[in-house]
């Protein structure tokens, strides 16, 4: 098979490039990740999914943000990756386990269209509210309703981990310019040692929530699976929604189910955009210039 093959897919407009560690001829280091994810000097993407081996699950996955940082989990990334391994016959079953830095998850190919996986469910693990496990530097047991001051703005924050860290802010109305202005300040706030993903969330009713996303290491994205899980967990904890909710984002919507032990299940569509080969010139430029 050709070396340096990639596929590019999206989950609700949150796109990823998939690579196989056994197929690439270069080191997927920070320089490579930044250039490949750059829309002008590379392919352009919200991140990279690297297929790796696993001794503890059917397959392993490493998740990288466009800034080169590694993420413990990605909901859209996991659905895209499961579609890839199913569509390309790497794993010939509809139920599979994937080992990520944030734990082992179980996935289920829910719907197949013309022989390709189309809708995928992922059991994303448990919502963790303990502040030191998120992690945050807050002394309190949990970070719920804490106030942070950012220059001229005050936000009430609610933090949760779904394998990766999240800061959920409840809003009466959602403003893209506001999250683009303050998202990075919250992402890099000094109380979050590993930085944090940020969501502005507005309850529509007990079964629908609207969300804007600012991702750690990626910035403003059209959708985010782990963010959807985080928002649903916080809303459920505050008694604002039922245990099954639709999270509505600019790129589309996800169904999130939360059981009585805070186990989270996420279901949504994934679509492939293209497949191709990374050119030798791109690899030369990574070596010579990085980004
Ligand atoms: N930027 C996130 C990882 C990707 C999350 C998002 N794309 C998703 O679908 O969950 C982080 O650093 O934790």
Mapped onto helix, strand or coil, the DSSP state of residue 48 is strand
Is the minimum distance from the CB of 75 to ligand 1 under 6 angstroms? yes
Ligand 1 geometric centre to CA of 115 (Å):
28
* Domain definitions of the chain by residue range: 5-124+271-288, 131-261
Ligand 1 geometric centre to CA of 142 (Å):
22
The mean pLDDT of 161-177, rounded to a whole number, is: 98
Q: Which CATH architecture has domain 5-124+271-288?
A: Roll (3.10)
Q: What is the pLDDT of residue 177?
A: 98
Is the minimum distance from the CB of 215 to ligand 1 under 6 angstroms? yes
Mapped onto helix, strand or coil, the DSSP state of residue 61 is strand
Tens-digit pLDDT profile for residues 56-76: 999 999 999 999 999 999 999
Is the minimum distance from the CB of 183 to ligand 1 under 6 angstroms? no
The mean pLDDT of 251-263, rounded to a whole number, is: 98
SS (H, E, C) 226-262: HHHHHHHHHHHHCCCCCCEEEEEECCEEEEEEECCCC
Query: Is the domain covering 131-261 a CATH 3.10.310.10 domain?
Result: yes
Ligand 1 geometric centre to CA of 254 (Å):
15
Q: What is the pLDDT of residue 150?
A: 94
The residues that bridge with 275 in the sheet, in sequence order, are 7
Is the predicted pLDDT of residue 247 greater than 80, yes or no? Answer: yes
Is the predicted pLDDT of residue 236 greater than 80, yes or no? Answer: yes
The mean pLDDT of 100-108, rounded to a whole number, is: 97
The mean pLDDT of 150-172, rounded to a whole number, is: 97
Is the predicted pLDDT of residue 100 greater than 80, yes or no? Answer: yes
Ligand 1 geometric centre to CA of 11 (Å):
12
Q: What is the pLDDT of residue 291?
A: 83
Q: Do domains 5-124+271-288 and 131-261 have the same CATH topology?
A: yes
Residue 151: which pLDDT band, with cuts at 50, 70 and 90? confident
Is the minimum distance from the CB of 216 to ligand 1 under 6 angstroms? yes
For residues 150 and 207, give the distance between their C-alpha atoms in angstroms, rounded to a whole number: 31
Residue 1: which pLDDT band, with cuts at 50, 70 and 90? low
Q: What is the pLDDT of residue 197?
A: 99
Average pLDDT, the chain: 97
Q: What is the pLDDT of residue 253?
A: 98
* Residues near 280 by beta carbon (within 8 Å), at least 6 away in sequence: none
* Residue with CA nearest ligand 1 atom 7: 224
Angle between helices 280-289 and 30-37 (to 10 degrees): 120
Contact 191, 138 (CB under 8 A): yes
What is the value of pTM for the model shown? 0.97
């Amino acid at each position: 098979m050709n070396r340096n093959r990639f596929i590019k897919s999206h989950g609700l407009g949150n796109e990823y490039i998939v690579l196989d560690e056994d197929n690439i001829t270069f080191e997927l280091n920070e320089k490579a990740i930044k250039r490949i994810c750059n829309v002008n000097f590379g392919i352009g993407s919200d991140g990279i999914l690297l297929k790796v081996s696993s001794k503890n699950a059917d397959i392993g996955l490493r998740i990288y943000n466009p800034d080169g940082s590694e993420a413990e989990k990605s909901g859209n990334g996991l659905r895209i990756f499961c579609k890839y391994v199913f569509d390309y016959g790497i794993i010939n079953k509809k139920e599979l386990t994937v080992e990520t830095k944030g734990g082992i998850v179980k996935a289920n190919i829910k719907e197949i269209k013309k022989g390709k996986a189309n809708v995928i469910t992922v059991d994303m693990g448990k919502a963790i509210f303990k502040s030191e496990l998120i992690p945050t530097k807050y002394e309190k047991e949990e970070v719920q309703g804490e106030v942070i001051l950012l220059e001229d703005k005050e936000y009430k924050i609610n933090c949760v981990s779904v394998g990766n860290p999240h800061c959920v802010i409840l809003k009466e109305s959602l403003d893209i310019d506001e999250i683009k202005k303050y998202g990075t300040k919250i992402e890099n706030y000094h109380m979050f040692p590993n930085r944090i993903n940020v969501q502005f969330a507005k309850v529509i009713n007990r079964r629908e929530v609207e969300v804007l996303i600012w991702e750690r290491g990626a910035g403003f994205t059209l959708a985010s699976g782990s963010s959807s899980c985080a928002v649903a967990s916080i809303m459920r904890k505050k008694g604002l929604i039922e245990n099954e909710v639709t999270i509505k984002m600019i790129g589309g919507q996800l169904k999130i189910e939360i059981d009585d032990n805070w186990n989270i299940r996420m279901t949504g569509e994934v679509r492939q955009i293209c497949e191709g080969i990374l050119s030798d010139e791109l690899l030369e430029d990574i070596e010579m210039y990085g980004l």
